[in-house]
């Protein structure tokens, strides 16, 4: 089950609101949908960690702390890089490839973080949100296959 579709839908609503406002990304609707999309992504982070805990009791990350880490200003950059690289190492990726995934998610979360909406062009925020949801989709697929192989 892919839970990313509501996030992609929020991104699409944000883009539609920007178009309706003459490609102006700093309107209240675009900002609201972007914030909701980022919060939904943080919720998906919680869900991923909850599933990982069900698969492996020794999974090192607390689900609640993981979600909060993606929301705390400035901390989210390092936390997202860390947990993503660790989860990809857990999936059997090489350290360099896992680190690359972690750095990519850290950069995407930096662009998509709601506090940075006024610092970057709005379309970059929407692209970054799509990248974050895409990463969650990849992780969900790997978690699902890992859970099935453990059964």
- Return the structure tokens found at 12: 């699409």
φ/ψ bin of 93: left (φ > 0), alpha (ψ from -120 to 50), beta (otherwise):
beta
* CA-closest candidate to residue 112, choices 126, 98, 101: 126
Task: Check residue 149 and give its pLDDT.
Answer: 65
Q: pLDDT tens for residues 54-109?
A: 888 888 888 888 888 888 888 889 999 999 999 999 888 999 999 999 999 999 99
Question: Residue 37's CB: how many other CB atoms inside 10 A?
Answer: 27
Q: Among positive and negative, which fits the CA dihedral 32, 33, 35, 40?
A: positive
pTM (2 d.p.): 0.88
Task: Check residue 150 and give its pLDDT.
Answer: 63
Task: Check residue 123 and give its pLDDT.
Answer: 83
Q: pLDDT tens for residues 16-54?
A: 998 998 877 788 898 899 999 999 999 999 999 998 888
């Amino acid at each position: 089950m892919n839970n990313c579709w509501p996030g992609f839908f929020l991104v699409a609503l944000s883009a539609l609101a920007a178009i309706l406002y003459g490609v102006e990304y700093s309107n209240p609707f675009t900002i609201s949908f972007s914030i909701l999309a980022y919060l939904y992504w943080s919720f998906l982070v919680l869900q991923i960690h909850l599933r990982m805990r069900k698969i492996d009791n020794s999974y090192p990350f607390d689900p609640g702390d993981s979600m909060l880490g993606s929301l705390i200003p400035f901390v989210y950059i390092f936390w997202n890089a860390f947990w993503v690289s660790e989860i990809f190492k857990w999936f059997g990726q090489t350290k360099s490839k896992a680190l690359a995934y972690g750095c990519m998610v850290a950069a995407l979360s930096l662009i998509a973080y709601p506090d940075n909406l006024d610092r970057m062009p709005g379309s970059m925020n929407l692209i970054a949100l799509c990248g974050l949801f895409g990463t969650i989709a990849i992780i969900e697929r790997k978690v699902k296959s890992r859970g099935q192989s453990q059964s």
